[in-house]
Structure formats: structure tokens, C-alpha cells
Amino acid sequence: MSVGCLFLQHMQRPSYQHIFRLVKKDILLETRQQYTFYGILLYVASTIFVVYFSMGQPEDRVWNGLFWVIQLFVCVNAVAKSFLAESRGRMLYFYSIAGARDFILSKLLFNLLLMLCMSLLSLGVFILLLGNPLENILPFVGIVFLGGISLSLVFTFLAAIAAKAQQQAALMAIMGFPLIIPQLLLLMKISTIAFSQVIQTGLSQMVLLLVGLDILVVALAVILFPFLWKD
């Protein structure tokens, strides 16, 4: 086997060392700047505060719907900007030290961790200001984690595509709407388990469907991003 073939196989195989270092770099930058943390905290607190003064403590279904809509905007503000913040010079540097799959997997992993933290933060503020109508809080926390993972994966994938276009915001809105709306409706349906003691039928199938969608998004990102990476 030629040296060129060996080099090609090495570039196509994800390097966990590169992924770990890229994730560590993003974590260090986030902890030093902290603008995302305080910005999301201000956004969530002000939005929930306005909701509280306008309608008080809402009923269960409204509480659930408001939570997931706010989670959507939290994800847009926290996750979708990750690729837009990378300058062209920095992308050229990453191109020289890591492969496309290493880079996209590190972004997916970092944004997943960031969205999990933001989801817990927003849930705490939500319960503090709008009350706690949850009958089963532990299952809801698990659903919040699953929803945060799903939203972060989708918007990271969309941000990777939109970063190569000139109209990033418009492109993300156009591509994200048909992908996110069914996912949000599915999350709202699954999370109703936390507001009642009765277990609804078909819950496991909906969870598996959501997990399958997450796996599909990761697979598409790993397959398609190398073509964008060359540009």
C-alpha cells in the first residue's frame, strides 16, 4: 500500500486527541470570555420575568410550551454562533492541524456540553420564577438533557453550513424551520409525562425516534462537512 493511501486513511479517520484538544480550546475560550453565559442568563431571566408579570404562573401545557420555545432561542443564541465566531485565518489554522471530521465532531461535542449547561440553567430560572408544576421532575430533567442534545446537534449542523454562505442568518432560518418544528413538537409531546402520574403509550417509540434523528444529524454532519471544509 502506497504512502498516499496510508495518509488518506489517516486523514479520514477521526483523531480523538485532536477532538479533545479542540473541545478544550472552546471550553477555555468560553470560560475566559463568559459572554455567552451572562447573555443567556439575562435573556432567560428577562423573558421569564415578562411572562410572569403578563400572565402569572401558567397552567401545565402553557408552562411546557413556553419552556421549549425559550429553549429554542437559547440554543440559537448559545450554539448557532459557534461557527460564525471563527475567523478565516483561524479556520485555515485548524485546516492545517486537524481533519474535517475532527473539527465538526469537536464542535458537536462542545455545543452539546454547552447546551446541557444552558438547559439546566434555564430550567432552574423557569422553576424559580414560574413555579414548579412538574409531578415527575427527574424524568423531565432527563428529557431536558435529551432535548438540549437534539437542539444543539441540529443547530451546530446548520451553523456549519450557514458559515460558508454570505447570508448566514437567513440561511439558518430557512433550513432550520422544517427541521426544528417537528422536533419541538415531539419534545413537547414526550415531556408531558412529567406533568402526570399516568405513563402515556408510545413514549419509548417517540424517544427512540428522537434519538434516531440525533444519530442522523451526526452522520450527515460527518459526511457533508468535509465538502464544505475544502472551501
Average pLDDT of 32-50? 78
Nearest to 40 by CA among 68, 13, 73: 73
- pLDDT grade for 215, boundaries at 50, 70 and 90: very high
Lookup result for grid cell 432535548: 147
Mean pLDDT, the chain, integer: 79
Q: Across residues 196-212, what is the average pLDDT?
A: 78
Query: What does the domain layout of the chain look like in residue ranges?
Result: 3-229
Cα–Cα distance for residue pair 45/34, rounded to 1 Å = 17
Task: For residues 182-198, give the mean pLDDT.
Answer: 83
Question: How high is the pLDDT of residue 58?
Answer: 79
Q: How far is CA 208 from CA 173, 190, 205, 211, in A?
A: 26, 11, 5, 5
Give tens-digit pLDDT for 122-149: 888 888 888 888 888 888 899 999 999 9
Query: What are the two backbone dihedrals, phi and then psi, of residue 81, each rounded to the nearest 5 degrees?
Result: -85, 0
Q: Are 18 and 94 in contact, with CB atoms under 8 Å apart?
A: no
pLDDT attached to residue 144 = 92
SS3 assignment, position 44? helix
Of the listed ranges 98-102, 145-149, 171-175, 209-213, the least confidently predicted one is: 171-175
Which residue reads 422536533 in cell numbers?
183
Question: Amino acid identity, residue 208?
Answer: L
Name the residue among 208, 207, 154, 144 with its Cα closest to residue 181: 154
| Alpha carbon distance 121, 128 (integer Å) | 11
Cα four-point dihedral sign 71, 73, 77, 81: positive
- The pTM of this model reads 0.83
